[in-house]
């Protein structure tokens, strides 16, 4: 597993440079989700693939930017699902973006995830890894990630990150979100799930929601390379992750680009969601 974290670290340094200095325009390709790929989405995907190709324990990779699973080492043990550049539409406005990694064994359902990591490219570059514990690392001047601290959520937080277009929310979802704001929670939503979830993790808790909507009943965020990795990280940080009614890590991904509604947070907020969603 250490060799995978090392490959993610090496890729992160290269992706950061690509973000800082490459063309921020669109390519002519559309990915499986239907998004027109930025040149940076493609560059980041290639950088990560190159670094993973050096690691013999990685059997195959599944990327947001690739239509199919790609075999790297037939005798390898792990499959890695990754989003090379999450929030890439925020690069042109110079907001923080990220990369997300889920490390799986024997399949890519929620129950198969054995470790997860993400990188935040903000004013600083940070790496968060989750195996038994969730650990924050910061990139130093010598381009090495140095451990900063462990991450553990409080039982209850203060932040509310509310995703998806409100016009498409179910009335009971709106009621839930209104009640949470009425309790004094503050809105924090940049539109990049990596910095938005990172903020909740580092500030001790809160709620991030990306619900089912009238135009996207299965939500927007993708199970294998966005939702399962963060569900794993939140559980290991003593928080929780659900799709509204069920624990995310009990879900199955029947296709690699499948999406799911998702809620990540500290235990108190997730209990509130469960209570409200159980009525519908
Ligand atoms: P990506 O750039 O990898 O396609 O992901 C963008 C995602 C995620 O980062 C964010 O939480 C969500 O899209 C924001 O969507 P809305 O603008 O619909 O809230
Ligand atoms: Mn994404
Ligand atoms: Mn992406």
Best residue among 38, 191, 260 to mutate for probing ligand 1, ranked by most atoms within 8 Å of CB: 191
**Domain with 223 in it: what CATH number?**
3.40.190.80
Number of residues that make up the chain = 280
Do 165 and 139 reside in the same domain of the chain? no
Do 140 and 217 reside in the same domain of the chain? no
Run of H or E residues at 259: none
What distance in angstroms lies between residue 35's CA and the mean position of ligand 2's atoms?
11
Do 233 and 144 reside in the same domain of the chain? no
Q: Which of 101, 120, 150 is the last residue of a domain?
A: 150
CB atoms within 10 A of CB 70: 13
**Domain with 98 in it: what CATH number?**
3.30.540.10
Find out whether 95 and 190 touch, Cβ atoms under 8 Å. yes
Run of H or E residues at 190: none
Q: Is the CB of 164 under 6 A from ligand 1?
A: yes
Task: State how far Cα 202 lies from the chain centre.
Answer: 15
Q: Which of 150, 180, 214 is the last residue of a domain?
A: 150
Which pLDDT value is given to residue 204?
Answer: 87
Do 62 and 120 reside in the same domain of the chain? yes
Which DSSP symbol is given to 168?
G
Q: Is the CB of 32 under 6 A from ligand 1?
A: no
| pTM for the predicted model, two decimal places | 0.96
Q: Is the CB of 35 under 6 A from ligand 1?
A: yes
Which pLDDT value is given to residue 25?
Answer: 82
Query: What percentage of the chain exceeds 70 in pLDDT?
Result: 100
Q: Which domain holds residue 144?
A: 2-150
Do 137 and 163 reside in the same domain of the chain? no
What distance in angstroms lies between residue 87's CA and the mean position of ligand 3's atoms?
6
Do 113 and 75 reside in the same domain of the chain? yes
Distance CA 26, CA 230 (A): 27
- Strand bridging mode 78-86 / 58-63: parallel
Find out whether 172 and 279 touch, Cβ atoms under 8 Å. yes
* For ligand 1, atom 18: residue with the closest CA: 164
Structural tokens at position 19:
């973000």
Q: Which of 96, 126, 150 is the last residue of a domain?
A: 150
Which pLDDT value is given to residue 244?
Answer: 97
Do 9 and 139 reside in the same domain of the chain? yes
Do 144 and 175 reside in the same domain of the chain? no
Which pLDDT value is given to residue 24?
Answer: 77
Do 141 and 14 reside in the same domain of the chain? yes
Do 134 and 180 reside in the same domain of the chain? no
Q: Note the pLDDT tens digit of each residue in 7-53.
A: 999 999 999 999 999 887 888 888 888 888 888 999 999 999 999 99
Find out whether 54 and 10 touch, Cβ atoms under 8 Å. no
Q: CB within 5 A of ion ligand 3: which residues?
A: 64, 83, 85-86
> Which residue numbers in the chain have pLDDT < 50?
none
Distance CA 227, CA 248 (A): 8
CB atoms within 10 A of CB 219: 22
Burial class (CB in 10 A: 0-12, 13-18, 19+), 92: exposed
């Amino acid at each position: 597993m250490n060799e995978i974290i090392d490959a993610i670290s090496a890729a992160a340094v290269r992706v950061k440079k690509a973000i800082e200095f490459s063309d921020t325009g669109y390519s002519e390709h559309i990915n499986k989700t239907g998004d027109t790929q930025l040149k940076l989405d493609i560059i980041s995907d290639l950088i990560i693939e190159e670094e993973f190709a050096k690691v013999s324990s990685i059997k195959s990779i599944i990327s947001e930017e690739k239509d199919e699973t790609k075999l790297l080492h037939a005798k390898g043990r792990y499959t890695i699902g990754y989003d090379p550049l999450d929030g890439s539409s925020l690069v042109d406005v110079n907001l923080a973006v990220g990369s997300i990694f889920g490390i799986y064994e024997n399949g890519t359902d929620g129950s198969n995830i054995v470790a997860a990591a993400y990188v935040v490219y903000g004013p600083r570059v940070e790496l968060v890894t989750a195996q038994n514990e969730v650990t924050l690392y910061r990139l130093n001047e010598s381009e090495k990630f140095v451990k900063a601290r462990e991450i553990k959520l409080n039982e209850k937080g203060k932040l509310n990150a509310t995703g998806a277009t409100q016009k498409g929310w179910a009335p009971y979802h709106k009621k839930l979100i209104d009640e949470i704001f009425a309790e004094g929670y503050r809105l924090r939503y940049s539109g990049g799930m990596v910095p938005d979830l990172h903020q909740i993790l580092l500030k001790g808790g809160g709620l991030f929601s990306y619900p089912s909507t009238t135009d996207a009943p299965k939500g927007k965020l993708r199970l294998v390379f966005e939702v399962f990795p963060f569900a794993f990280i939140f559980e290991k940080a003593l928080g929780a992750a659900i799709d509204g009614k069920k624990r995310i890590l009990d879900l199955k991904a029947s296709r690699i680009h499948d999406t799911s509604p998702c809620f990540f947070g500290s235990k108190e907020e997730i209990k509130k969601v469960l209570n409200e969603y159980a009525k519908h």
